[in-house]
Amino acid sequence: MKWSEFFVTGEPLIYAADVAIVLTMVGIVFVLTYFKKWKWLWNEWLTTVDHKKIGVMYIICAVLMLFRGGVDALLMRAQLTAPNMKFLDAQHYNEIFTTHGTIMILFMAMPFIIGLMNIVVPLQIGARDVAFPYLNALSFWLFFFGALLFNISFVIGGSPDAGWTAYFPLAGNEFSHGVGNNYYAVALQISGIGTLMTGINFLVTILKMRAPGMTLMRMPMFTWTILITCVLIIFAFPVLTVALALMTFDRVFGTQFFTMANGGMSMLWANLFWIWGHPEVYIVILPSFGIFSEVVSTFAQKRLFGYKAMVGSIVGIAFLSFIVWVHHFFTMGAGPAVNSAFSITTMAIAIPTGVKIFNWLFTIRKGKIRFTTAMLWSLAFIPNFVIGGVTGVMLAMAAADYQYHNSYFLIAHFHYVLIAGTVFACFAGLHYWYPKMFGHILNERLGKWTFWLFMIGFNVCFFPMYFLGLMGMTRRMYTYSAGLGWTPLNVVATVGAVLMGIGFIVLCYNIYYSARYGERDMTGDPWNGRTLEWATASPPVHYNFPVTPVVEDVDAYWVMKKKYGGFHVKEEDLKPIHMPSNSGRPFWMSVAFFVAGFGLVFKWFALAIVGALFIVLGLILRSFEDDDGYHIPVDEIKRMERAARKGA
């Protein structure tokens, strides 16, 4: 392989990116060295097993990926603003929509949600960490290096270009010769293994580590949604693992699972992909429902309406999510009976979802609504998501879907559910739990600017796309001709995308501004919260709770405040606390995964084998490790509690 093939060349945008990457890396190394922070970075972050720090790292990555995916989106909108634009060529455009989709779903939405659940779930159930803290660190680093591997593709080797769905035979060797789709297969595999382990970890955490008194039906709604999400992950992700493994065999070793020749079956890929892919969208939407439930209840200052129905409907949605995948390809010609069956199962999802919408509405009824930024995001979710939902029902009608399929109508629909559902939830959760993560509140004024810019921009961008779809514009077109009449709506959409971009910039400025000038949260409970995470200091001491709280009802902390005036800890009740030790092994094992993955991508098998050997070495070392963690003595707890509660 020549150097000119190894590095992507020929695009001014890519050269600019090369320079930016080198400068950023030099800058990071310089800052760490100058401020002597290498040791701090290693001890406090790279080797941590603390669920809160891991959660923060997930969210930092997610925001970075939101930036990357957002730049991809703006480049696409720029190219589509006018007919016959020459801004991007076809190949470049194809790479950009592929990375946009993959990054936004797998490296933005997923880590954002997983980050929030890392921070919140153990706190909400009154636990000191997750069930398997070491595994949790490994999950994060596998995600991190998977994402890194995927992202370097645009400067080294070339990006995947067959869409985030990577349909065969297009994504196979017969039509995609570069290493781009190898990156797709291997990078998603590495981070997917991390996600699967997260699913197992949190399932066990929630089932086994709840505080005394917290029965399943007293769990906070966010924890409920995470529990069900874990079940979805455990059933869905192995399908992705297998599908990606077969794809890797096809692409790297020349097997013929999905090829045109020698009896390959490309439809098999589409089925496997969506058997994972449909539950996957519920993996990012159910936790969002949980976040909205928490925020709406807190700021309506009222208990969640119809708790049992809410639990029932998430279980129902989760079940249905596994029996609808064919609706992604009604047009494959499976026959009217099959299509009818999948139409009905798909439409049925509207029933539990509708129940949830009405329960949220009736939670705010008779409430006392405080319009904080987190609440604005949660309230805006309702009308916007309903638009996405009803158009989803329209898409579910197979006979009509033949006219919507793969058109901008579909694009509008899934952005309405994924942005108004998941992205709004991530922003709501970020503002809501920010004081819990960092000890200060995100500025509300800037927060509201972000909200209005982004929310209005979102509607201006995506609502016209419903009509572009009905006017015949199909997805993934890098350009269109002037006579089609699509130009005005495309211009409007681009304006909306720019507004969203400005909203994101205001959010980033808010993070900086609030770190410097933001209001410090000394109480640990800035929003008059209802669940146990607000019973801890902001940010919580690393062991979370000095003594394990006892739960008497749903909204455990609310009840404590009403009955006892808060969560009080008597110093004589303190006992030494058992905590897990930090470990550097998850980090370097994930580096080994990265090295092995890079070797597979380029078919440098010696490198892949070296990486694999280090992975095995890590497994062996862990198996013979004799580290039961450590105990924090009572005096130390007393000292830390006083320090944390100084302001209260």
Partner 1 sequence: MKWARWRAVLVLPFLFLFGGCVERTAVLNPQGPVARMQYDLIMWSVGFMLFIIVVVFTLFAVFLIRYREKPENAGYEPPDEEGNTLLEVVWTAIPILIVAALAVPTVKATFALEKPPTEKVKPITIHVTAANWKWIFSYPEENIETVNYVHIPAGVPVKFKLTSVGPMNSFWVPELGGQKYAMDGMETELILQADKPGSYMGRSANFSGEKFAHMEFEVVAQTGTDFRKWVNEVKQTAPKLDEKKYTQILKPGLVGRMTFSNTHLQWIDHAKQNSHHADGKPMKNDDQSDEAMTNSHHHGE
Residues 292-351 touching partner 1, rule: CB under 8 A, are: 300-303, 305-309, 329, 331-336, 339-340, 343-344, 347-348, 350-351
Residue type present at position 223: T
617 lies in the site for partner 1, by CB under 8 A: no
> How many Å apart are CA 372 and CA 378, to the nearest integer?
10
- Of the pair 264, 429, the CB lying nearest partner 1 is at 264
Give residues 440-469 in contact with partner 1 (rule: CB under 8 A): 455-456, 459-460, 463-464, 467, 469
Task: Give me the least distance between CB of 248 and partner 1, in Å please.
Answer: 20
Q: C-alpha angle 91/72/501, rounded to 5°?
A: 150
> How many Å apart are CA 224 and CA 206, to the nearest integer?
9
Residue 284, number of CB atoms within 10 A of its CB? 25
399 lies in the site for partner 1, by CB under 8 A: yes
- Of the pair 145, 449, the CB lying nearest partner 1 is at 449
Contact assessment for residue 183 and residue 252, using Cβ atoms and an 8 Å cutoff: no
- Count CA atoms within 13 Å of residue 221 on its CB side: 28
- Of the pair 236, 324, the CB lying nearest partner 1 is at 324
Instruction: Among 63, 397, 418, 637, indicate the residue that binds partner 1 (CB under 8 A).
Output: 397
175 lies in the site for partner 1, by CB under 8 A: yes
CB under 8 Å to 618, separation ≥6 — which residues? 585, 588, 589, 592
Instruction: Among 62, 196, 364, 461, indicate the residue that binds partner 1 (CB under 8 A).
Output: 364
505 lies in the site for partner 1, by CB under 8 A: no
Task: Give me the least distance between CB of 316 and partner 1, in Å please.
Answer: 10
- Of the pair 367, 629, the CB lying nearest partner 1 is at 367
Task: Give me the least distance between CB of 477 and partner 1, in Å please.
Answer: 4
- Of the pair 372, 544, the CB lying nearest partner 1 is at 372
Contact assessment for residue 53 and residue 118, using Cβ atoms and an 8 Å cutoff: no
Task: Give me the least distance between CB of 81 and partner 1, in Å please.
Answer: 14
Instruction: Among 37, 208, 370, 639, indicate the residue that binds partner 1 (CB under 8 A).
Output: 370
- Of the pair 64, 332, the CB lying nearest partner 1 is at 332
- Of the pair 27, 336, the CB lying nearest partner 1 is at 336
Contact assessment for residue 486 and residue 471, using Cβ atoms and an 8 Å cutoff: yes
Token couple for 349:
């999802």
- Of the pair 371, 630, the CB lying nearest partner 1 is at 371
Crossing angle of the two packed helices 424-438 and 266-300, in degrees rounded to 10: 60
Q: H or E segment at 126?
A: none
- Of the pair 64, 559, the CB lying nearest partner 1 is at 559
- Of the pair 366, 516, the CB lying nearest partner 1 is at 366
Task: Give me the least distance between CB of 393 and partner 1, in Å please.
Answer: 7
**Beta bridge mates, 474:** 407
Token couple for 351:
């029933």
Query: Three-state DSSP class for 207?
Result: helix
Give residues 516-575 in contact with partner 1 (rule: CB under 8 A): none
Task: Give me the least distance between CB of 216 and partner 1, in Å please.
Answer: 16
Q: What is the sign, positive or negative, of the torsion defined by CA atoms of 551, 557, 562, 566?
A: positive
> How many Å apart are CA 106 and CA 94, to the nearest integer?
18
Using the CB atoms, write b or e for 309-326: b if 16+ within 10 Å.
ebbebbbbbbebbbebbb
Give residues 463-502 in contact with partner 1 (rule: CB under 8 A): 463-464, 467, 469-472, 474-480, 484-485, 488-489, 492
Give residues 79-138 in contact with partner 1 (rule: CB under 8 A): 90-91, 94
CB under 8 Å to 253, separation ≥6 — which residues? none
- Of the pair 208, 365, the CB lying nearest partner 1 is at 365
Instruction: Among 400, 505, 619, 621, indicate the residue that binds partner 1 (CB under 8 A).
Output: 400
403 lies in the site for partner 1, by CB under 8 A: yes
Task: Give me the least distance between CB of 606 and partner 1, in Å please.
Answer: 33
Task: Give me the least distance between CB of 426 and partner 1, in Å please.
Answer: 21
**If binding means CB under 8 A, how many residues of this protein chain bind partner 1?**
99
Write out the E strands in 516-589: 577-579
Instruction: Among 16, 361, 550, 609, indicate the residue that binds partner 1 (CB under 8 A).
Output: 361
Query: Three-state DSSP class for 520?
Result: strand
178 lies in the site for partner 1, by CB under 8 A: no
Residue 333, number of CB atoms within 10 A of its CB? 10
Contact assessment for residue 493 and residue 408, using Cβ atoms and an 8 Å cutoff: no
CB under 8 A: which stretch of 47-55, 232-240, 379-387, 605-613 binds partner 1?
Answer: 379-387
167 lies in the site for partner 1, by CB under 8 A: yes
Task: Give me the least distance between CB of 431 and partner 1, in Å please.
Answer: 18
Contact assessment for residue 228 and residue 286, using Cβ atoms and an 8 Å cutoff: yes
Contact assessment for residue 127 and residue 205, using Cβ atoms and an 8 Å cutoff: yes
> How many Å apart are CA 92 and CA 69, to the nearest integer?
15
- Of the pair 110, 489, the CB lying nearest partner 1 is at 489
Give residues 257-276 in contact with partner 1 (rule: CB under 8 A): 260-263, 265-267
**DSSP 8-class letter at 130:** -
Token couple for 638:
């007393």
**DSSP 8-class letter at 81:** S
Token couple for 269:
């890929």
From residue 208 to residue 247, the character string flagging contacts with partner 1 as x (rule: CB under 8 A) and all else as - is ----------------------------------------
CB under 8 A: which stretch of 8-16, 366-374, 584-592, 640-648 binds partner 1?
Answer: 366-374
Instruction: Among 383, 576, 584, 647, indicate the residue that binds partner 1 (CB under 8 A).
Output: 383
